[in-house]
Structure 1
């Protein structure tokens, strides 16, 4: 298995995510430790400088009259050879009295009797810290400035030693935290075991919702998505079973008829008998083919996911007018007056062209089937402010009003209907209307005769909207 084929690991990903901030925290803690160590080192070394300056001031007073400090005092001051301490005792009138380094005068000069003054200086390219104080001697007009200084190297060295001593400890703590996180995540993932067992123990056709009581709160969005998937699969299985039952229901009669006519032709081989049987076979096979096509259309309309609809702008006027023209020869053969009322184009809706055409096919087929000889079928289109209204009406016997609510049911045919049909046409129309957020209503035709089926779809604003609002044209 290559690196790209390695399955993702939640533990590894969490550890990877935590390593970067932990390393940054370690570096940040090192910087903070160094800064705090340097701060406290400066504070303590500054205190030592102040005490050293006060000590020189006391020595100078005890040896008043001498121009320089005694050798014993120098030894006490210069005791550290690695980080020597520098001093200077300077009279403002008489000049330098004692020093081991020509330290500059503090700026500004501290007032006599005030606490020692601390400042940072640079001498001979070295950064130093100096404490200074001013005292008065026997001469009231003279002021003696005592300064004591040392390099900053020892302070930084102390801060580095503290940093080096504490960094491994902090790093060890971070490693311990990462290990605890690793084991904590591993233990926490065991909370998914009941969910895994719940899914593993299910039967193949058990698509009920998962038990959310055993699911952690953080995982519930995932389980809700799984429940939604189960619901869609359950719906698809129900549709599949319904399709099989519908197919068996619709094809049983024509298949039985085909077998009967075949037996009839075999039993009576006379040409006229065989010819009559073949005519029945042709009619039955055409009906079976039509029923199979309607079953497939209904299944397609029921199973199309709303998120997968290939919708686009459809000119319903152009579609209806073209299809009405295609069916004119069939209408003339049945002695039916088929006409179209409405604009030639410009009534635009948002939908699936194939499905809308299928709805129109079933509406026109249903009307032609029930209009009867010398009847009329009219396909009309009209638009109001927000909807496009597609209506197909016929001059047939119509359907009693009490049966209108059931016209969209599968296999429902009004009592007393003598025409052949599967009872699926209006069911397909209703399902397609639901997919397009449209409505299907029923009414009587002109002069109270026949049936008028109206499909109302949301209108789509288009550039040719004005043409779509024109008055209906003459019948074609």
Structure 2
């Protein structure tokens, strides 16, 4: 398949209007030529009528035209001249054609009158004038006529002679357009050279100097694409760095425990090493999952306004029910307070669930034995607040601004976490346009994390109720 060409496309676009312009100019030339031909032929008819009038005056007293006059009027040609000399009292005095009746009488001694009439075989153009006859009260009407063939023939000759010139001018214009477009496209050469000389990792904005104004939208689009690629590369590099940071310690621990088991083959020593291996591999798997979740949350740059409708109440209740066995095993009271359904927001249900998973995991890890974790949902005027609080030791207020940073652990916190849970929560909140608020629990202890989303109008109002699981 032949590659598209801007030159060919422009030429194709111009050919049709140019062809129409050529046809339109031909029609206009023909109309103008016929108009001026009519003017000149009408002037010739008027002159013929006046000449015939003078001849009649010179033959005063005679009822017929002299043979010399007839010879002059009936001179053989491709388009002969017709004439009629009529007396209102005596009838036709001389004629070589029968003009149709109904031609208005001209005013005596006035400018000759011009009329178009339908002859016996073809249309005629007639010039008529009136003069006083020899008899008292008589009026002589002199009419000279000719067909319209000569006029149309002259107009066609002008058209045939002019159209090739117009066509040549149009062809010249198309050639000039082709040359102009070709030269104009060379203005893109600096931009092409600038892109060709770039290194693979150079994703900085293009130099807009020297770029034509018409091409600026294209270069701005390229800059936006480069910016997105730069963000993706930064995310990739960050993911690699995070993975190396998180997996280095568990992998080193796994190797150490394997060497320990090989060095001491006693069953109790091997079993202890396997217990550590299981714990380290579980931690590595959990860290890998959180890294993937963080990478996905960071890759979401679109707001939640165009996403699906998600019922946070149903999402929270379903997930809390799944975590009840874990809470019971850890002797933690896990509960939900809020509406059963009807808390609709716009967003990605998978990522919203991921944020809730990390909030609940964080709360369960820090609530402590015989502690409590409460997931609450509050529907306000235009926002929906999703809160998760625990009864653990909490975090000092001075560290709240740093919560959500990657790998940040407040002083005194447990060291078996990855430091990515709240980072994932903050990234999900940012991608959904939600605010993250940190605070104390209801009794002044523990930590409460609240996500405030923009609420969607519910399909129908739902009654609020509180439940404890």
TM-score (norm 2): 0.97
Question: Residue by residue, what CA displacement relative to the aligned partner does 1:279-333 show, whole Å, maximum 9, x if unpaired?
Answer: 1111111111111100000001111352899821111111101111111111111
Residue aligning to 1:151: 147
Alignment of 1:37-436 (within 5 A): 37-104=33-100, 107-306=103-302, 311-436=307-432
Task: State how far apart, in whole Å, the 2-side matches of 1:310 and 1:456 are.
Answer: 18
Secondary structure of 1:211's aligned partner = coil
Question: Residue by residue, what CA displacement relative to the aligned partner does 1:37-89 show, whole Å, maximum 9, x if unpaired?
Answer: 11011000000000110111111011101111112212222234211001111
Task: State how far apart, in whole Å, the 2-side matches of 1:12 and 1:121 are.
Answer: 53
Secondary structure of 2:443's aligned partner = helix
- 1:150 is displaced (CA, Å) by 0.4
Task: State how far apart, in whole Å, the 1-side matches of 2:232 and 2:149 are.
Answer: 80
Task: State how far apart, in whole Å, the 2-side matches of 1:309 and 1:439 are.
Answer: 15
Structure 2: segments with no counterpart, 5+ residues? none
Residue aligning to 2:459: 463
Task: State how far apart, in whole Å, the 2-side matches of 1:241 and 1:72 are.
Answer: 112
Please state if 1:472 is matched with 2:465.
yes
User: Which one of 432, 435, 444 corresponds to residue 448 of structure 1?
Assistant: 444
Distance 1:348 1:95, change over 3 A: same
Query: 2:304·2:432 contact (CA, 8 Å) conserved in 1?
Result: no
Secondary structure of 2:251's aligned partner = helix
Count of residue correspondences: 469
Query: 1:309·1:352 contact (CA, 8 Å) conserved in 2?
Result: no
Query: 1:369·1:419 contact (CA, 8 Å) conserved in 2?
Result: no
Distance 1:426 1:169, change over 3 A: same
Secondary structure of 1:213's aligned partner = coil
Query: 1:370·1:419 contact (CA, 8 Å) conserved in 2?
Result: no
Structure 1: segments with no counterpart, 5+ residues? none
Task: State how far apart, in whole Å, the 2-side matches of 1:264 and 1:369 are.
Answer: 29
Query: 1:89·1:98 contact (CA, 8 Å) conserved in 2?
Result: yes
Choose 129-138 or 263-272, whichever is displaced more: 263-272
Query: 2:29·2:159 contact (CA, 8 Å) conserved in 1?
Result: yes
Task: State how far apart, in whole Å, the 1-side matches of 2:303 and 2:185 are.
Answer: 34
Residue aligning to 1:34: 30
- 1:125 is displaced (CA, Å) by 2.9
Distance 1:16 1:199, change over 3 A: same
Q: After the TM superposition, which parts of structure 1 deviate over 6 Å for at least 4 consecutive aligned residues? A: 307-310
Query: 1:310·1:352 contact (CA, 8 Å) conserved in 2?
Result: no
Secondary structure of 1:447's aligned partner = coil
- 1:166 is displaced (CA, Å) by 1.0
Query: 2:61·2:134 contact (CA, 8 Å) conserved in 1?
Result: no
- 1:140 is displaced (CA, Å) by 3.2
Task: State how far apart, in whole Å, the 2-side matches of 1:229 and 1:474 are.
Answer: 49
- 1:123 is displaced (CA, Å) by 1.3
Query: 1:130·1:148 contact (CA, 8 Å) conserved in 2?
Result: yes
Task: State how far apart, in whole Å, the 2-side matches of 1:361 and 1:50 are.
Answer: 105
TM-score (norm 1): 0.96
Secondary structure of 1:210's aligned partner = coil
Distance 1:258 1:395, change over 3 A: same
Distance 1:320 1:238, change over 3 A: same
- 1:103 is displaced (CA, Å) by 2.4
Query: 2:438·2:449 contact (CA, 8 Å) conserved in 1?
Result: yes
- 1:336 is displaced (CA, Å) by 0.9
Secondary structure of 2:209's aligned partner = helix
Q: CA RMSD in A?
A: 1.4
Secondary structure of 2:384's aligned partner = strand
Query: 1:348·1:459 contact (CA, 8 Å) conserved in 2?
Result: yes
Query: 2:100·2:118 contact (CA, 8 Å) conserved in 1?
Result: no
Distance 1:150 1:307, change over 3 A: farther
Task: State how far apart, in whole Å, the 1-side matches of 2:467 and 2:184 are.
Answer: 75
